[in-house]
Structure 1
C-alpha cells in the first residue's frame, strides 16, 4: 500500500510507467491473497481430517483406522487424504500431537502465575485428567493414540520439561534421568485417564494421580499431598 501511495505523487509525464507499477503491485497483492486463501483451505481440510480421525479413534481404536476409512468418515476423496498423509502412522501421529498440543496450550495459560515447577506439573496432570472426565471421547482418543505415536509422547514431554527442570532446581524433584521422568509423567497421566474410562474412578481421581506422580519424582509426602489438592487456577 505504501508503494501505491508513493506512486500517486509522481509527475504526470511519468504516468505510463506509474500505471504499470500500480498494476504490478496490485497483482502481487492478489497473488499474496490467493496464497493465503490456499493455505487457509489446506488448514481447514487438514482440520476436517483430524476431527474425522479422532471420531474413529474414539469409537474403534487406532489399530482399526485406515486412510480409506478416514476418507469415508471425512466425506472427501481418497486422493485428498493422501495429499496430507502418506501413511496411517503419519496420520496417527499428527492427530495425537494436535490433540495434546491444543490442550497443553490451555494448561500453560492456567499455570502462568505459578513459579513452582511441582505446582505447574500437578496442574498439568490434573487438568488432563479432568478434561478426560468431562469428555470421555477426548480421553479415549488420547489414550488410544498415545500408545502408538512416539511423536505424541515427545510433544507432551516437551511441555513438561521446563516444569521438571524448575522443580529439580527448586529442590522438590529428585530424578536420575530427565527423559525417564518425562516418560513416567506421561505414562502416569494417561494411565490415570485409562482407569477412569474403564470405570475404576477414584474419589478425587485427578488429585490422587498427581500426588502419586509427585511422590515418584521425589517430592516429600506432606508437600506432595498439599500441592495435589490445591485449587486449580481458573
Structure 2
C-alpha cells in the first residue's frame, strides 16, 4: 500500500473507532436509564448495567468510573436534551405565561411518549442535583420573565421554582400511572399558572393554546 493510501486510511479507522466508542457509551447510558426508570438507584449494580447493555464489566470502566458517575451522565443527558429542545422553541413565544405553561405541558407529554424517560425523572425526584442544575435556571428564567412582564404575581421566586419542580414530578407520576386521562398536561398547566397569580379564566385560555412542535 502506498504511503498516501495509508495516510488516508488512518483518519477513516480513527473515525470508525470513535463511532464504536460512542455507540458503546450510548448503549451503557440507555441501559442505565432503563434500569433507573424501574428501580431505585441504590439497587442497581454495575453488573446489571453491563448485562443490560451486553458489554463486559471491563468495557464499562473504559467509560465510567462508578455507578454514580454513569447515573449522573444519564441524568445530565436526559434533562439537557429536553431542556435545550424547549429553549429552541418555547422562548420565542411572546407571552411569558404561554412559555411557562407550554414548557410544563411538553414535559408531561414527553413523559407519556417516552415512559422510560418519565419514570426515570420521577425516580430522580425534584431535589436531584442534575435536575436543579439543568432545569432550575430555565424555570427561574421563565418565572422571572413573567414577573417582570406583570403576568405573574410571585412573592418568593425560590419557593415558586421549588413548587414547580415538586408539582412537575407529581404530575408526571400521575400521568404515567393513569395515561388514559385526557388533557392531563393542560390541567397541570392551569394549576401552575394559577399558582403564579394568573386568573383562572386566563389560565385556562393560555393552557389550551396549541403547542409549538418540539
TM-score with structure 2 setting the length: 0.82
Cα shift at 1:159: 2.8
Question: Which of 1 and 2 has greater Rg?
Answer: 1
1:226 and 2:205 correspond: yes
Instruction: Identify the residue that residue 173 of structure 1 maps to in structure 2.
Output: 152
Cα shift at 1:190: 1.6
Moved more, 222-231 or 105-114: 105-114
Q: 1:114 aligns with which of 72, 90, 93?
A: 93
C-alpha distance in 2, partners of 1:51/1:90?
A: 14
Question: Using a 3 Å threshold, how does the CA distance of structure 1 residues 34 and 138 change in structure 2: closer, same or farther?
Answer: same
Q: Which stretches in structure 2 are left out of the alignment for 5+ residues?
A: none
Instruction: Identify the residue that residue 161 of structure 2 maps to in structure 1.
Output: 182
- The CA RMSD measured in Å over matched residues stands at 2.9
Q: 1:48 aligns with which of 27, 32, 56?
A: 27
Instruction: Identify the residue that residue 140 of structure 1 maps to in structure 2.
Output: 119
C-alpha distance in 2, partners of 1:175/1:39?
A: 49
Conserved 8 A contact 1:121-1:164: yes
1:128 and 2:97 correspond: no
TM-score with structure 1 setting the length: 0.76
1:82 and 2:61 correspond: yes
Instruction: Identify the residue that residue 102 of structure 1 maps to in structure 2.
Output: 81
C-alpha distance in 2, partners of 1:173/1:36?
A: 51
Give a deviation string over 1:53-95, Cα, whole Å, max 9, x none.
1221233343321122111111112122233332322222211
Question: Using a 3 Å threshold, how does the CA distance of structure 1 residues 116 and 29 change in structure 2: closer, same or farther?
Answer: farther
Question: Using a 3 Å threshold, how does the CA distance of structure 1 residues 117 and 36 change in structure 2: closer, same or farther?
Answer: farther
Question: Using a 3 Å threshold, how does the CA distance of structure 1 residues 215 and 79 change in structure 2: closer, same or farther?
Answer: same
Number of paired residues?
A: 212
Question: Using a 3 Å threshold, how does the CA distance of structure 1 residues 115 and 224 change in structure 2: closer, same or farther?
Answer: same
1:192 and 2:165 correspond: no
Question: Using a 3 Å threshold, how does the CA distance of structure 1 residues 173 and 184 change in structure 2: closer, same or farther?
Answer: same
Conserved 8 A contact 1:93-1:145: no
Q: Which stretches in structure 1 are left out of the alignment for 5+ residues?
A: 1-25
C-alpha distance in 2, partners of 1:138/1:48?
A: 15
